[in-house]
């Protein structure tokens, strides 16, 4: 099978030295890419800015912004969007929902800044790309299962991997995760605290059932 995996944060620049972003390290996405490659699948990893080594056997595409990530995913998809040979998209990336309406070409001086930053919405990658096999993530701080179920319905996903990032061992920058698999049929499977690689291997095994 072919896998397209997104990982890490995106950065939305205000000027050349300032940006909007989040604390994603990319570990979960890189673990998924590794797990898929270990199973002999063809893997394209589209990564935001992270400090991780590319897993063996994985083709990596580095991007910065949400729009660059969308373009890279669409390029990796090509014409094979549905039917035989269509890839599985596993979208672990923490994509910025908003970006500055304007990006300054030079560093803005404090004296020239008003304290008000106008934002515009970024494209929703999973909603935008036309692919029959999509797996999303929902990193939440409240009712993760309810939010995952909503995303699954609204974005036409096969599954959403939900986690509460406030739980110990399940947030950003750690090697473990505690997740639930929320599927398109409405079922939810809670997994115990596991390494991110162990979670990734479970995700890949589920993806293989979509072939």
Catalytic annotation, residues: 22
First to last CA, the chain: 7
Interatomic CA distance for residues 131 and 107, integer angstroms: 39
Any idea which residue has 């291997």 for tokens? 201
In degrees and rounded to multiples of 5, residue 30 shows phi and psi of -65, -35
Quote helix, strand, coil % in the chain, to nearest 5. Answer: 25, 30, 45
Cα 174 to Cα 103: distance, rounded to the nearest angstrom: 32
Report d(CA 161, CA 137) in Å as an integer. 5
DSSP 84-151: TTPPEEEE--B--SEEES---SSPPPGGG--S---EEEPP-HHHHS--S-EEEEEEESS-HHHHHHHH
Residue 25: partners with Cβ closer than 8 Å, 6 or more residues away: 8, 50, 51, 52, 172, 173
């Amino acid at each position: 099978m072919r896998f397209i995996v997104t990982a890490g944060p995106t950065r939305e620049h205000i000027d050349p030295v300032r940006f909007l972003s989040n604390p994603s390290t990319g570990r979960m996405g890189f673990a998924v890419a590794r797990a898929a490659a270990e199973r002999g699948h063809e893997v394209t990893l589209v990564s935001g800015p992270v400090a991780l080594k590319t897993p063996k056997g994985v083709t990596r595409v580095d991007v910065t912004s949400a729009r660059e990530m969308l373009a890279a995913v669409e390029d990796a998809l090509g014409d094979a969007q549905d039917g035989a040979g269509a890839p599985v998209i596993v979208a672990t990336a923490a994509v910025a929902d908003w970006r500055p309406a304007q990006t300054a070409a030079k560093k803005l001086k404090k004296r020239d800044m008003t304290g008000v930053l106008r934002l515009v919405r970024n494209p929703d990658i999973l909603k935008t790309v036309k692919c029959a096999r999509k797996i999303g993530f929902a990193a939440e701080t409240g009712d993760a299962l309810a939010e995952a179920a909503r995303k699954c319905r609204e974005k036409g996903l096969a599954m959403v991997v939900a986690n509460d990032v406030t739980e110990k061992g399940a947030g950003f920058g750690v090697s473990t995760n505690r997740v639930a698999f929320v599927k398109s049929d409405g079922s939810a499977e809670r997994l115990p605290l596991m390494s991110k690689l162990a979670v990734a291997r479970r995700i890949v095994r589920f993806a293989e059932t979509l072939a």
